[in-house]
Amino acid sequence: MIPVQGYAGQTVAVLGLGRSGRATAAALQAGGAHPVVWDDSAVARDAAEQAGFDLRDLTKPRAFEGVSLLVVSPGIPHLYPTPNPVIAAAWDADVPVDNDIGLFFRSFATAEWEEFDTMPRVIAVTGSNGKSTTSALIHHILVENGRPAQLAGNIGRGVLDIEPAHDGEVVVLELSSYQTDLARSLTPDVAVFTNLSPDHLDRHGGPGGYFAAKRRLFAEGGPDRAIIGVDEVEGRYMANQLSEGPGDDRVIRISSGQKLTGEGWNVFARKGFLAEHRKGRQVGSIDLRAIAGLPGAHNHQNACAAYAACRTLGLGPKGIEAAMQSYPGLPHRSQVVAVKDGVTFVNDSKATNVDSAAKALAAFPKIRWICGGLQKEGGLDGLLPYLDHVSKAYVIGREAEGFARQLTGADVEVCGTMATAVAQAAADAAAGEVVLLAPAAASFDQYDSFERRGEDFIRCVTEAVG
> pLDDT tens digits, residue range 377-400?
889 999 999 999 999 999 999 999
Convert the pLDDT of each residue in 42-72 to its tens digit. 999 999 999 999 999 999 999 999 999 999 9
Residue 125: pLDDT above 90?
Answer: yes
Mean pLDDT of 76-97: 97
Return all residues near 3 (Cβ < 8 A) that are at least 6 apart: 27, 30, 31, 32, 107
Q: What is the pLDDT of residue 201?
A: 85
Q: Partners of 14 in the beta sheet?
A: 37, 71
Residue 330: pLDDT above 90?
Answer: no
Mean pLDDT of 431-453: 96
Contact 335, 346 (CB under 8 A): yes
- Give the residue from 385, 379, 386 showing the smallest Cα distance to 406: 379
Indicate whether 94 and 112 sit together in one domain.
no
Q: What is the pLDDT of residue 377?
A: 80
Residue 156: pLDDT above 80?
Answer: no
- Give the residue from 71, 62, 2 showing the smallest Cα distance to 34: 71
Distance CA 204, CA 198 (A): 11
The answer on whether 129 is annotated among ligand-binding residues is yes
Distance CA 90, CA 11 (A): 13
Distance CA 415, CA 457 (A): 14
Q: Does residue 2 lie within any of the structural domains?
A: no
Residue 295: pLDDT above 90?
Answer: no
Mean pLDDT of 140-162: 95
Last residue of a domain, one of 263, 294, 325: 325
Indicate whether 58 and 172 sit together in one domain.
no
CATH code of the domain covering residue 21 = 3.40.50.720
Q: How confident is the model at residue 194 (pLDDT cuts 50, 70, 90)?
A: very high
Question: Strand (E) positions, 39-145?
Answer: 54-55, 67-72, 97-98, 121-126
Distance CA 218, CA 440 (A): 29
Q: What is the pLDDT of residue 466?
A: 78
Q: Does residue 22 lie within any of the structural domains?
A: yes
Convert the pLDDT of each residue in 355-364 to its tens digit. 889 989 998 9
Mean pLDDT of 201-224: 94
CATH code of the domain covering residue 436 = 3.90.190.20
- Total number of domains constituting the chain: 3
Mean pLDDT of 277-282: 94
Q: Return the higher-pLDDT residue of 200 and 240.
A: 240
The answer on whether 128 is annotated among ligand-binding residues is yes
**Percent of the chain clearing pLDDT 70 (strictly above):** 100
Distance CA 181, CA 139 (A): 24
Q: What is the pLDDT of residue 395?
A: 98
Indicate whether 165 and 220 sit together in one domain.
yes
Mean pLDDT of 270-279: 96
Mean pLDDT of 124-128: 96
DSSP state of 264: S
Indicate whether 310 and 443 sit together in one domain.
no
Q: How confident is the model at residue 290 (pLDDT cuts 50, 70, 90)?
A: confident
Q: What is the pLDDT of residue 27?
A: 98
Handedness of CA 170, 173, 179, 181 (dihedral sign): positive
Distance CA 65, CA 62 (A): 6
Mean pLDDT of 218-224: 94
In this structure, how many other beta carbons lie within 10 angstroms of the beta carbon of residue 455?
A: 16
Q: Return the higher-pLDDT residue of 130 and 173.
A: 173
Give me the chain's average pLDDT, please. Answer: 95
Mean pLDDT of 310-337: 94
Helices 131-144, 317-325: inter-axial angle, 10-degree rounding: 110
The answer on whether 350 is annotated among ligand-binding residues is no
Convert the pLDDT of each residue in 404-431 to its tens digit. 999 999 999 999 999 999 999 999 999 9
- Give the residue from 196, 70, 182, 216 showing the smallest Cα distance to 131: 196
Indicate whether 295 and 397 sit together in one domain.
no
Indicate whether 93 and 111 sit together in one domain.
no
Quote the domain boundaries for residue 191.
Answer: 106-325
Indicate whether 450 and 357 sit together in one domain.
yes
pTM for the full predicted model: 0.87
Q: What is the pLDDT of residue 292?
A: 84
The answer on whether 118 is annotated among ligand-binding residues is no
Q: What is the pLDDT of residue 152?
A: 96
Q: Does residue 1 lie within any of the structural domains?
A: no
Question: Strand (E) positions, 197-244?
Answer: 225-229
Indicate whether 176 and 278 sit together in one domain.
yes
The answer on whether 302 is annotated among ligand-binding residues is no
Q: What is the pLDDT of residue 298?
A: 87
